[in-house]
Protein backbone atom coordinates (compact mmCIF):
# COMPACT_ATOMS: atom_id res chain seq x y z
CA UNK A 1 0.00 0.00 0.00
CA UNK A 2 1.11 3.53 -0.70
CA UNK A 3 0.08 5.11 2.61
CA UNK A 4 2.87 7.42 3.73
CA UNK A 5 5.01 6.56 6.74
CA UNK A 6 5.04 9.15 9.53
CA UNK A 7 8.60 9.45 10.87
CA UNK A 8 7.38 11.60 13.77
CA UNK A 9 5.47 8.65 15.23
CA UNK A 10 7.44 6.97 17.99
CA UNK A 11 7.62 3.22 17.19
CA UNK A 12 7.61 2.21 20.86
CA UNK A 13 4.62 4.39 21.61
CA UNK A 14 2.81 3.06 18.57
CA UNK A 15 3.61 -0.48 19.66
CA UNK A 16 2.16 0.14 23.10
CA UNK A 17 -0.84 1.79 21.47
CA UNK A 18 -1.71 -1.26 19.35
CA UNK A 19 -1.10 -3.65 22.25
CA UNK A 20 -3.47 -1.54 24.31
CA UNK A 21 -5.95 -1.60 21.44
CA UNK A 22 -5.77 -5.40 21.34
CA UNK A 23 -6.39 -5.62 25.09
CA UNK A 24 -9.26 -3.14 24.81
CA UNK A 25 -10.79 -5.16 21.98
CA UNK A 26 -10.58 -8.31 24.10
CA UNK A 27 -12.21 -6.56 27.06
CA UNK A 28 -15.01 -5.11 24.91
CA UNK A 29 -15.51 -8.54 23.35
CA UNK A 30 -15.93 -10.06 26.81
CA UNK A 31 -18.30 -7.27 27.83
CA UNK A 32 -20.34 -7.91 24.69
CA UNK A 33 -20.52 -11.59 25.54
CA UNK A 34 -21.64 -10.86 29.10
CA UNK A 35 -24.26 -8.40 27.84
CA UNK A 36 -25.60 -11.16 25.60
CA UNK A 37 -25.51 -14.02 28.09
CA UNK A 38 -27.10 -12.24 31.09
CA UNK A 39 -30.58 -11.91 29.53
CA UNK A 40 -30.23 -15.44 28.15
CA UNK A 41 -29.72 -16.73 31.69
CA UNK A 42 -32.51 -14.51 33.00
CA UNK A 43 -34.94 -15.93 30.44
CA UNK A 44 -33.98 -19.48 31.33
CA UNK A 45 -32.42 -20.59 28.04
CA UNK A 46 -29.82 -23.34 27.94
CA UNK A 47 -26.45 -21.56 27.71
CA UNK A 48 -24.96 -24.66 26.08
CA UNK A 49 -27.47 -24.59 23.22
CA UNK A 50 -25.92 -24.14 19.78
CA UNK A 51 -27.94 -21.02 18.97
CA UNK A 52 -26.83 -19.42 22.24
CA UNK A 53 -23.17 -20.27 21.63
CA UNK A 54 -23.32 -18.81 18.12
CA UNK A 55 -25.01 -15.70 19.50
CA UNK A 56 -22.36 -15.41 22.21
CA UNK A 57 -19.62 -15.62 19.58
CA UNK A 58 -21.39 -13.00 17.47
CA UNK A 59 -21.63 -10.63 20.44
CA UNK A 60 -17.91 -10.93 21.09
CA UNK A 61 -17.03 -10.39 17.45
CA UNK A 62 -19.30 -7.35 17.31
CA UNK A 63 -17.12 -5.89 20.06
CA UNK A 64 -14.02 -6.35 17.90
CA UNK A 65 -15.79 -4.68 14.98
CA UNK A 66 -16.78 -1.66 17.06
CA UNK A 67 -13.28 -1.20 18.48
CA UNK A 68 -11.62 -1.57 15.09
CA UNK A 69 -14.00 0.86 13.42
CA UNK A 70 -13.71 3.42 16.22
CA UNK A 71 -9.91 3.33 16.10
CA UNK A 72 -9.81 3.71 12.32
CA UNK A 73 -12.10 6.73 12.54
CA UNK A 74 -10.22 8.28 15.47
CA UNK A 75 -6.81 7.93 13.81
CA UNK A 76 -8.21 8.72 10.37
CA UNK A 77 -6.55 5.67 8.89
CA UNK A 78 -6.92 4.93 5.22
CA UNK A 79 -8.62 1.53 4.93
CA UNK A 80 -9.45 0.84 1.26
CA UNK A 81 -12.60 -1.23 0.85
CA UNK A 82 -13.74 -2.04 -2.69
CA UNK A 83 -15.09 -4.79 -4.91
CA UNK A 84 -12.07 -6.94 -5.90
CA UNK A 85 -10.77 -6.62 -9.43
CA UNK A 86 -10.25 -9.67 -11.63
CA UNK A 87 -6.57 -9.71 -10.67
CA UNK A 88 -7.49 -9.46 -7.00
CA UNK A 89 -9.86 -12.42 -7.31
CA UNK A 90 -6.92 -14.44 -8.60
CA UNK A 91 -4.91 -13.24 -5.62
CA UNK A 92 -7.76 -14.31 -3.35
CA UNK A 93 -7.75 -17.81 -4.85
CA UNK A 94 -3.99 -18.12 -4.37
CA UNK A 95 -4.27 -16.74 -0.84
CA UNK A 96 -6.90 -19.30 0.16
CA UNK A 97 -4.79 -22.18 -1.15
CA UNK A 98 -1.62 -20.91 0.54
CA UNK A 99 -3.41 -20.37 3.86
CA UNK A 100 -5.01 -23.82 3.80
CA UNK A 101 -1.80 -25.60 2.82
CA UNK A 102 0.07 -23.73 5.54
CA UNK A 103 -2.54 -24.71 8.13
CA UNK A 104 -2.52 -28.35 7.02
CA UNK A 105 1.26 -28.59 7.06
CA UNK A 106 1.68 -26.79 10.37
CA UNK A 107 -1.14 -28.82 11.97
CA UNK A 108 0.45 -32.07 10.81
CA UNK A 109 3.71 -30.99 12.43
CA UNK A 110 1.98 -30.09 15.69
CA UNK A 111 0.19 -33.44 15.68
CA UNK A 112 3.46 -35.29 15.15
CA UNK A 113 5.03 -33.35 18.03
CA UNK A 114 1.98 -33.93 20.25
CA UNK A 115 1.38 -30.20 20.49
CA UNK A 116 -2.32 -30.05 19.65
CA UNK A 117 -4.31 -28.28 22.41
CA UNK A 118 -7.90 -28.87 23.39
CA UNK A 119 -10.24 -26.56 21.49
CA UNK A 120 -13.26 -24.78 22.94
CA UNK A 121 -14.88 -24.99 19.51
CA UNK A 122 -14.09 -28.69 19.31
CA UNK A 123 -15.67 -29.34 22.69
CA UNK A 124 -18.87 -27.55 21.68
CA UNK A 125 -18.93 -29.33 18.31
CA UNK A 126 -18.60 -32.70 20.04
CA UNK A 127 -21.98 -32.02 21.66
CA UNK A 128 -23.63 -30.60 18.52
CA UNK A 129 -21.69 -30.62 15.23
CA UNK A 130 -24.09 -28.08 13.70
CA UNK A 131 -22.29 -25.50 15.84
CA UNK A 132 -19.54 -25.69 13.21
CA UNK A 133 -21.99 -24.71 10.48
CA UNK A 134 -23.22 -21.80 12.59
CA UNK A 135 -19.65 -20.60 12.96
CA UNK A 136 -19.09 -20.99 9.22
CA UNK A 137 -22.00 -18.65 8.48
CA UNK A 138 -20.85 -16.26 11.19
CA UNK A 139 -17.33 -16.26 9.73
CA UNK A 140 -18.66 -14.83 6.49
CA UNK A 141 -21.04 -12.32 8.04
CA UNK A 142 -19.04 -11.05 11.01
CA UNK A 143 -15.87 -12.88 12.12
CA UNK A 144 -13.72 -12.23 9.05
CA UNK A 145 -14.85 -8.60 8.57
CA UNK A 146 -14.43 -7.77 12.27
CA UNK A 147 -11.02 -9.38 12.73
CA UNK A 148 -9.62 -8.04 9.47
CA UNK A 149 -10.80 -4.50 10.21
CA UNK A 150 -9.21 -4.65 13.67
CA UNK A 151 -5.94 -6.44 12.93
CA UNK A 152 -5.24 -5.44 9.35
CA UNK A 153 -7.13 -2.18 8.93
CA UNK A 154 -6.57 -0.65 12.37
CA UNK A 155 -3.51 -2.30 13.95
CA UNK A 156 -1.46 -3.05 10.84
CA UNK A 157 -2.48 0.28 9.34
CA UNK A 158 -1.35 2.22 12.39
CA UNK A 159 1.92 0.30 12.66
CA UNK A 160 2.63 0.84 8.97
CA UNK A 161 2.69 4.59 9.58
CA UNK A 162 5.40 4.17 12.21
CA UNK A 163 7.59 1.17 11.31
CA UNK A 164 6.72 0.32 7.71
CA UNK A 165 4.80 -2.59 6.17
CA UNK A 166 6.94 -5.64 7.01
CA UNK A 167 7.25 -5.04 10.79
CA UNK A 168 3.60 -3.95 10.77
CA UNK A 169 2.53 -7.29 9.29
CA UNK A 170 4.68 -9.22 11.78
CA UNK A 171 3.47 -7.39 14.89
CA UNK A 172 -0.19 -7.33 13.84
CA UNK A 173 -0.01 -11.06 13.09
CA UNK A 174 1.46 -11.88 16.50
CA UNK A 175 -1.32 -9.89 18.16
CA UNK A 176 -3.83 -11.71 15.96
CA UNK A 177 -2.47 -15.06 17.14
CA UNK A 178 -2.42 -13.99 20.79
CA UNK A 179 -6.07 -12.92 20.63
CA UNK A 180 -7.04 -16.54 19.91
CA UNK A 181 -5.30 -18.03 22.96
CA UNK A 182 -8.63 -18.05 24.81
CA UNK A 183 -10.02 -20.50 22.23
CA UNK A 184 -7.82 -23.30 23.58
CA UNK A 185 -7.33 -25.18 26.84
CA UNK A 186 -4.77 -27.58 28.24
CA UNK A 187 -0.98 -27.39 28.27
CA UNK A 188 0.68 -24.05 27.68
CA UNK A 189 3.16 -25.12 24.99
CA UNK A 190 0.53 -26.57 22.60
CA UNK A 191 -1.58 -23.43 23.03
CA UNK A 192 1.39 -21.20 22.22
CA UNK A 193 2.32 -23.37 19.23
CA UNK A 194 -1.21 -23.12 17.84
CA UNK A 195 -1.22 -19.37 18.42
CA UNK A 196 1.99 -19.20 16.39
CA UNK A 197 0.25 -21.08 13.58
CA UNK A 198 -2.55 -18.52 13.64
CA UNK A 199 0.03 -15.73 13.60
CA UNK A 200 1.52 -17.23 10.43
CA UNK A 201 -1.95 -17.39 8.88
CA UNK A 202 -2.48 -13.79 9.96
CA UNK A 203 0.76 -12.83 8.21
CA UNK A 204 -0.64 -14.30 5.00
CA UNK A 205 -3.76 -12.16 5.38
CA UNK A 206 -1.62 -9.11 6.18
CA UNK A 207 0.58 -9.65 3.13
CA UNK A 208 -2.47 -9.89 0.90
CA UNK A 209 -3.73 -6.61 2.32
CA UNK A 210 -0.43 -4.87 1.66
CA UNK A 211 -0.11 -6.25 -1.86
CA UNK A 212 -3.64 -5.41 -2.98
CA UNK A 213 -4.46 -2.31 -0.92
CA UNK A 214 -8.00 -3.62 -0.49
CA UNK A 215 -9.30 -4.91 2.86
CA UNK A 216 -11.96 -6.95 1.08
CA UNK A 217 -9.23 -9.29 -0.18
CA UNK A 218 -8.08 -10.58 3.23
CA UNK A 219 -11.69 -10.59 4.43
CA UNK A 220 -12.72 -12.96 1.63
CA UNK A 221 -9.63 -15.14 2.11
CA UNK A 222 -10.15 -15.26 5.88
CA UNK A 223 -13.84 -16.11 5.54
CA UNK A 224 -13.21 -18.80 2.93
CA UNK A 225 -10.38 -20.29 4.99
CA UNK A 226 -12.63 -20.53 8.05
CA UNK A 227 -15.56 -21.95 6.10
CA UNK A 228 -13.44 -24.67 4.48
CA UNK A 229 -11.98 -25.76 7.83
CA UNK A 230 -15.30 -25.65 9.67
CA UNK A 231 -17.31 -27.46 6.99
CA UNK A 232 -14.57 -30.08 6.66
CA UNK A 233 -14.68 -30.63 10.42
CA UNK A 234 -18.48 -30.91 10.28
CA UNK A 235 -18.38 -33.50 7.49
CA UNK A 236 -15.75 -35.49 9.40
CA UNK A 237 -17.77 -35.42 12.64
pLDDT tens track for 52-76: 999 999 999 999 999 999 999 999 9
Domains in the chain, number: 1
Residue 208: give the domain boundaries. Answer: 11-236
Please report whether residue 116 resides in a domain. Answer: yes
Q: Is 119 helix (H, G, I), strand (E, B) or coil?
A: strand
Which of 184, 214, 210 shows the shortest CA–CA distance to 198?
184
Category of 164 on φ-ψ map: left (φ > 0), alpha (ψ -120 to 50) or beta: left
pTM, rounded to two decimals: 0.94
Q: Is residue 190 part of a domain?
A: yes
Query: Chain-wide mean pLDDT for the chain?
Result: 95
Domain membership of residue 63 (yes or no) is: yes
User: 6 in a domain, yes or no?
Assistant: no
Above pLDDT 70, what percent of the chain? 97
Confidence at residue 237, expressed as pLDDT on a 0 to 100 scale? 87
Residue 96 has pLDDT above 60, yes or no: yes
For residue 184, give the DSSP letter: E
| pLDDT tens column, 204-217 | 999 999 999 999 99
Residue 2 within a domain: no
Q: Look at residue 220 and tell me if it is in a domain.
A: yes
Looking at the domain assignment, is residue 19 inside a domain? yes
DSSP type of residue 129: T
Amino acid sequence: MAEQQHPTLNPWRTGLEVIGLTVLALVISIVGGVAFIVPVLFLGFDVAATAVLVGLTAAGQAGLLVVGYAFVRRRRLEVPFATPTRAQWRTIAVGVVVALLTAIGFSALLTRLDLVPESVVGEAAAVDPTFLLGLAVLSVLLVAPAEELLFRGAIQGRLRQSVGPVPAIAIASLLFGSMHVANYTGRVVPILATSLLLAVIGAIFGTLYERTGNLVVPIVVHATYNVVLLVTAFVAS
